[in-house]
């Protein structure tokens, strides 16, 4: 990548992994760049990479997914290795942009530098190759994007959160400095966050080797709001320049905007050179002191990274071990957990927990369960252990990717939810059923599915194609659409019989059935209530509104998941309940109380549905990437074999179930 070392009146960085490159953000001064010289037609038009990219040397194929970000120099895509299903973030650089020797040299230097880096808080470099059209750099995929995205959703973060992120940034930065490497472009958009809310320092397009004072690079490059005074004064880059940028990052996260941001770029530079900024009174005294000690004009007066970690801001303040995914969108609850909460949290981390013994409840406790319906506290039920490996507030990925953004649904006031949680559940007549002693749990459903699929694969002969499918399989119920809104409420889904269900974060379940005429409500102890919609108790109205919001969103924005005939469905009142859902790096897994297992693969939108037929034998339905469904008796697959495409997916599901059964 061209490191964009321009004059002070120009935009100074082209960050090719930051999706908000051309939007106002704390990473950029909010002023229009000067007109750029016209480019040739070949430079102006950047053709999309092929849907399947092949490494010309190894022959390995990669499926191109969604666009993660773009800049003036390159684009970044999600790509999946078709042989292993491993997903990467891939920088794609057109060959036309490296036609000159100095341009190719910069890309080569970036690759060679990044290849040498191995640290927990540095984006992992995997490999690279090129073809006639592009250069492809394969990097670790960080599914929760960057601190820039979190900043845009939150605007300001709490002191404990800032300590959490800064500790990881400093860890990665110390590693770089110890190797004699300056990053030179520290900003929110270059701090990436993975599935586990762990931070990774990335984008080394402007990185350089640390030189002596006399040999230091004196070009002005970086991002305007984060440039150190000595860089603007062309005194050269040292590790102190990275420390200055770190202080700007801290200020931005705590205050909501960079310390020297103005509407005019030249004025921003004057403020930086004069170290002219304001510390809001809302900042805690330790935070004010630390920022002041970092943003010193003289580089030698700034704190070192070790001194920053020894500052009272860190030593006298609480730093969480982990942050919940919901913190990407909302202020997290970070009180030290009680022993009971620690137990439940540990249990929830297991995808498919062991069966727990029943706990006796007195009538008053049973009655109180209903009052906790929208408390918002994630808990594990006794007979339905649930895990939440989620991505927080997700985005609409594609017409067939059934994830939704938080925006369209974010209309239910949290205060109302808290009020409804305190109301009692009285005076309403409803049909109900008690919890069954031998009710299916996620563990038992997963165990059965793993057993039958393992047996099928163990006896399956080699085959080049799938056997003939059933011409008219008996209809069954499956998930046609889904929406992950667990950052606030829960997981919603639409079944093939048009019933809508939501599994709420605190373990209760509410379904709109029979064309929304009846409401099914299930407590965490599996006690069921069925109401007529017009006779629904006031205490459940808040949850019903949330279900309706998700239902309307799915109806208006999401496509059906395949071509399975939804006519002649089983009776709507017999709809299965979702026991548990989980996201892996590659798929969404759903387990139901009728023994059904459904797995939706993200990259190509293929699906596997394992369910029992009327004679208790198993049927497997495969929905291809062309959205064409085929149903096979599992016994037929076991005897006649199947295509490598289907076999690969079956093995993945078995390995997934086995891995978490052993957890």
CA distance 264 to 272: 13
What tokens appear for 302 in the block? 């700034």
Q: Which of 140, 139, 141, 136 is nearest to 57 (CA)?
A: 136
Look at the alpha carbons of 210, 211, 213, 217 in this order and tell me if their dihedral is positive or negative: negative
Look at the alpha carbons of 317, 318, 321, 322 in this order and tell me if their dihedral is positive or negative: negative
What tokens appear for 433 in the block? 């059923």
What tokens appear for 470 in the block? 């059933």
CB of 70 closer than 8 Å to CB of 16: yes
3-state secondary structure of 481: strand
DSSP E strands, 450-606? 479-485, 490-495, 500-504, 509-513, 518-522, 528-532, 578-583, 587-592, 597-601
372 is an annotated ligand-binding site residue? no
What tokens appear for 288 in the block? 């004010």
Which residues are designated catalytic?
185
CA distance 460 to 218: 66
CB of 76 closer than 8 Å to CB of 68: yes
Beta bridge partners of 578: 592
Backbone angles phi, psi at 632, to 5 degrees: -130, 140
CA distance 352 to 451: 14
For 484, the enclosing helix (H) or strand (E) is: strand 479-485
Beta bridge partners of 189: none
Close Cβ partners of 652 (under 8 Å, ≥ 6 residues apart): 85, 586, 587
CB of 581 closer than 8 Å to CB of 596: no
3-state secondary structure of 138: strand
How many Å is the maximal CA-CA distance in the chain? 84
Look at the alpha carbons of 320, 325, 328, 334 in this order and tell me if their dihedral is positive or negative: negative
CB of 568 closer than 8 Å to CB of 472: no
Close Cβ partners of 562 (under 8 Å, ≥ 6 residues apart): 480, 607, 623, 627, 628, 629
> Can you say which residues are annotated as belonging to the binding site for ATP?
91
> Can you say which residues are annotated as belonging to the binding site?
91
């Amino acid at each position: 990548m061209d490191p964009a070392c321009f004059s002070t009146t120009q935009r100074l960085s082209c960050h090719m992994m930051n999706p908000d490159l051309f939007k106002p953000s704390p990473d950029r001064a909010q002023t229009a760049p000067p007109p750029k010289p016209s480019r040739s037609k070949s430079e102006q038009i950047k053709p999309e990479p092929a849907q399947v990219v092949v490494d010309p040397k190894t022959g390995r194929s990669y499926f191109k997914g969604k666009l993660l970000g773009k800049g003036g120099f390159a684009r970044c895509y999600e790509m999946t290795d078709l042989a292993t299903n491993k997903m990467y973030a891939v920088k794609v650089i057109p060959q036309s942009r490296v036609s000159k020797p100095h341009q190719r040299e910069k890309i080569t230097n970036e690759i060679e530098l990044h290849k040498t880096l191995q640290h927990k808080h540095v984006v992992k470099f995997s490999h690279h190759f090129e073809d006639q059209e592009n250069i492809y750099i394969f990097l670790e995929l960080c599914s929760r994007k960057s601190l820039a995205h979190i900043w845009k959703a939150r605007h300001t973060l709490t002191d404990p959160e800032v300590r959490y992120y800064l500790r990881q940034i400093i860890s990665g930065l110390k590693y770089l400095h110890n190797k004699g490497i300056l990053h030179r472009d520290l900003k929110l958009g270059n701090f990436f966050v993975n599935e586990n809310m762990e931070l990774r320092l990335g984008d080394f397009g402007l990185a350089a080797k640390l030189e002596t004072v006399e040999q230091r690079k004196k070009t002005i490059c970086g991002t305007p709001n984060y440039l150190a005074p000595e860089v603007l004064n062309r005194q050269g880059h040292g590790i102190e320049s990275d420390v200055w940028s770190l202080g700007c990052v801290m200020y931005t996260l705590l205050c909501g905007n960079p310390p020297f941001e103005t509407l005019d770029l030249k004025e921003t530079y004057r403020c930086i050179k004069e170290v002219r900024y304001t510390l809001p009174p809302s900042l805690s005294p330790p935070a004010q002191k630390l920022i002041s000690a970092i943003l010193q004009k003289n580089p030698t007066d700034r704190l070192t990274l070790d001194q920053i970690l020894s500052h009272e801001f860190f030593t006298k303040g609480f730093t969480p071990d982990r942050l919940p995914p919901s913190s990407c969108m909302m202020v997290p609850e970070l009180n030290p957990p009680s022993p009971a909460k620690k137990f439940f949290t540990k249990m929830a981390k297991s995808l498919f927990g062991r069966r727990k013994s029943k706990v006796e409840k007195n009538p008053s406790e049973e009655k109180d369960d209903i009052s906790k319906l929208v408390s918002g506290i994630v808990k594990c039920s006794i007979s339905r252990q649930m895990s939440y490996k989620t991505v927080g507030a997700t985005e609409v990925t594609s017409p067939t990717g059934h994830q939704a953004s938080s925006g369209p649904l974010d209309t239910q006031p949290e205060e109302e939810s808290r009020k409804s949680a305190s109301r009692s559940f009285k005076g309403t007549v409803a049909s109900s059923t008690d919890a069954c002693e031998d009710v299916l749990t996620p563990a038992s459903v997963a165990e059965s599915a793993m057993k039958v699929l393992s047996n099928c694969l163990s006896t399956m002969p080699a085959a080049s194609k799938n056997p003939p499918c059933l011409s008219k399989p008996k209809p069954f119920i499956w998930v046609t659409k889904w929406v992950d809104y667990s950052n606030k409420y829960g997981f919603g889904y639409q079944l093939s019989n048009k019933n809508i269900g939501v599994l709420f974060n605190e373990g209760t379940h509410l379904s709109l059935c029979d064309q929304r005429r009846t409401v099914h409500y299930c407590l965490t102890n599996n006690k069921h209530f069925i109401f007529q919609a017009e006779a629904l108790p006031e205490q459940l109205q808040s949850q019903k509104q949330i279900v309706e919001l998700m239902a309307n969103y799915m109806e208006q924005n999401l496509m059906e998941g395949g071509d399975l005939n939804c006519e002649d469905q089983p009776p709507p009142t017999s709809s299965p309940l979702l026991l548990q859902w989980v996201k892996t790096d590659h798929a969404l897994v759903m387990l139901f109380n009728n023994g059904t297992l459904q797995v939706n693969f993200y990259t190509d939108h293929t699906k596997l549905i394992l369910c029992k037929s009327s004679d208790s034998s198993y049927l497997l339905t495969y929905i291809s990437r062309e959205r064409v469904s085929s149903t096979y008796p599992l016994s037929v697959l076991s005897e006649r074999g199947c295509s490598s495409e289907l076999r690969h997916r079956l093995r993945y599901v078995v390995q997934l179930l086995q891995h978490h059964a052993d957890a």
